[in-house]
Structure formats: C-alpha cells, structure tokens
Amino acid sequence: AAKARGGGVLVYDEARDGSGRHRLELITQLREGLHEHQLVLHYQPQVDLRTGRAGSVEALVRWQHPRRGLLPPVEFIPLAESAGLMGKLTAQVLEEALIQCSRWRTEGSHLQVAVNVSPSVLIDHDFPTQVEYLLSTHHLPPSALVLEVTEDLLMAHRDRAVSALTRLRKKGVQVSIDDYGTGYSSLAYLMDLPVTELKLDRAFVATMTSSARSVAIVKSTTHLAHALGLHLVAEGVEDAETLHSLRAVGCDLVQGYHLARPVPAHDVPRALVSATSA
C-alpha cells in the first residue's frame, strides 16, 4: 500500500503490507490445519483443596504447525476469531476433549473437563445442540463438562448468552466465568446468569504474596462466590506461599504451574499425581 506522508511524498509501507500478507498466509494454513486436524490439546489439572484430589482438567489448545512447531493459542486464536474460524476450531476442541474425557472414564478416572468457549461461539444458535449431541455421542453425563466463558460477552450479548447457558445448565453442564474480575461488566449479571463457578483471574492470584489488597480481593471474591452457592477457582498459582494463602482464604479449587503445567493427554495421569502432592 502506498500512503501519502508529510510533504506529499508517497512512502511504501513495507512492514504493514508484509504483516498483512503473513496474516493471510497463516489464515490459509490454519484453515488447512483445521481440515487436517493439526490442533492438539494439553490438559492442566485443577486440585480441590477440600479433598486434596485433582478431579478436573482444563483443555488448552495448541496448533502443531507443520513447519513452525507447537504454537500457543495467542498466536492463532485471535486470527481464527477474525477469520470466522472459531466455530470450527471450538467444535474440534470440544469433540477431542470429550473423547479424551470418556477414555479416562473407561480407564476408571472420572475427570471433569473444562473447555474454553469464546463469545462468538457461545451465542451461535447451534452451539447448545452441538454440545448436547457430542455429550450423548460420547456417552458422557453433562456434568462432566465445564464451559469456561469470559465475562465481557455476558453483557455485550446478554440475552443470547443467557439463553444458551440456561439451556445447557438445565441439562447439567457446568458453567464457569473465566478471568473473573477483569471484565468491564458489573456484578449485575451474577443475579440471573446460570453459572456454577467463578474463576478468578491470575492477576489477583499472582500478586497475593506481595499485596494485601490482592489478598482482600481474593478473600472477598471467595465469600461472594460462596454466598451465591458457587465455588471459586484460583488460576495461576505459581508457588507454595500463594497456595498457602489460598487455603487460608477458603478458595475451593486451584490451578497453576506450582501444581502442574498443561500436558498432553498421555502425561495427564502423572500430572494428576504431581498436582495432588504439591
């Protein structure tokens, strides 16, 4: 693209054009990648502080790129979002996570699996039907699935989000508010949203050991969750001291590098053991 700059000189904006081309190329590759099932799921255990057990895992997507290696979500989720590929991506993640969940059940391990669902996907009219179909195809009780949704969307598309979540909640699917505390919305949606869990953003958790304010926020959010009949999950637990403070404030579930990192499915049994001994 040629752009007029000061003095009427036309300057070729190489950086911008280059990144645009790169972007289009990646989108094409992602489309192919979805077609060829190049997405890979890693799972990170969550430990219940009351029982000491790791009863659930969060599924986190990666892209096994044919040349660039294993790419983290930050490198392709925004791209998929802008290219209208999130529906397809989520369908694959959901199915893979549920297949894995049902495999674990056959092996005697009754884990719950949490799947991240972006706003655009949740409000798609077909989404609840798709979830119900996958659960029944893989012979899973709906309570085996937790959908993690971020709070921003809940206000932007309130009616559609509420109706999708209400329908899934009635079936028994669990609903978690991810990155809780970071959205622009007020607490109002907690009055009528059918959620089962608040997942406090790691920004609050990571600063507990250095900030009394963070401790106060985590503590009062735990009380709020309990008063509403919900449980509180703390993510981003990176050290023993933070884990200790979380126990002290009555947090229900913990997740983070200190317990276990996200790992491929075959490493999950080992990660569960290490998480429960942290």
Q: Using CB under 6 A as the criterion, which residues of the chain lie in contact with ligand C2E when the complex forms?
A: 44, 60-61, 72-73, 77, 90, 93, 116-118, 148, 178-179, 202, 235-238, 256-257, 262
When binding is defined by CB under 5 A, the residue of 46, 90, 112, 116 that contacts Ca ion is 116
Cβ atoms 278, 238 nearer than 8 A = no
Cβ atoms 238, 256 nearer than 8 A = yes
CA–CA distance, 263 with 267 (Å, rounded to integer): 6
For the chain, helix, strand, coil in percent to 5 are: 50, 20, 30
State the nearest-atom distance from the C-beta of 205 to ligand C2E, in Å.
8
Q: How far apart are the first and last CA of the chain?
A: 55
When binding is defined by CB under 5 A, the residue of 178, 195, 215, 256 that contacts Ca ion is 178
90 binds Ca ion (CB under 5 A): no
The C-alpha angle 140, 112, 173, rounded to 5 degrees, equals 60
96 binds Ca ion (CB under 5 A): no
Quick one: tokens of 194?
Answer: 């059918």
- C-beta of 13 vs 99, nearer to ligand C2E: 99
For residue 162, the Cα-to-chain-centroid distance in whole angstroms is: 19
- C-beta of 16 vs 230, nearer to ligand C2E: 230
State the nearest-atom distance from the C-beta of 256 to ligand C2E, in Å.
3
197 binds Ca ion (CB under 5 A): no
State the nearest-atom distance from the C-beta of 4 to Ca ion, in Å.
40
- C-beta of 13 vs 152, nearer to ligand C2E: 152
179 binds Ca ion (CB under 5 A): yes
151 binds Ca ion (CB under 5 A): no
State the nearest-atom distance from the C-beta of 273 to ligand C2E, in Å.
18
State the nearest-atom distance from the C-beta of 108 to ligand C2E, in Å.
26
Tell me the HSE value of 45 on the side-chain side, using a 13 A CA sphere. Answer: 26
Quick one: tokens of 233?
Answer: 């999950």
CA–CA distance, 243 with 64 (Å, rounded to integer): 33
Amino acid symbol at 55: G
Number of Cβ within a 10 Å radius of residue 120 = 16
Letters for 129-148 (x = contact with Ca ion by CB under 5 A, - = none) are -------------------x
Using CB under 5 A, list all residues that contact Ca ion. 116, 148, 178-179
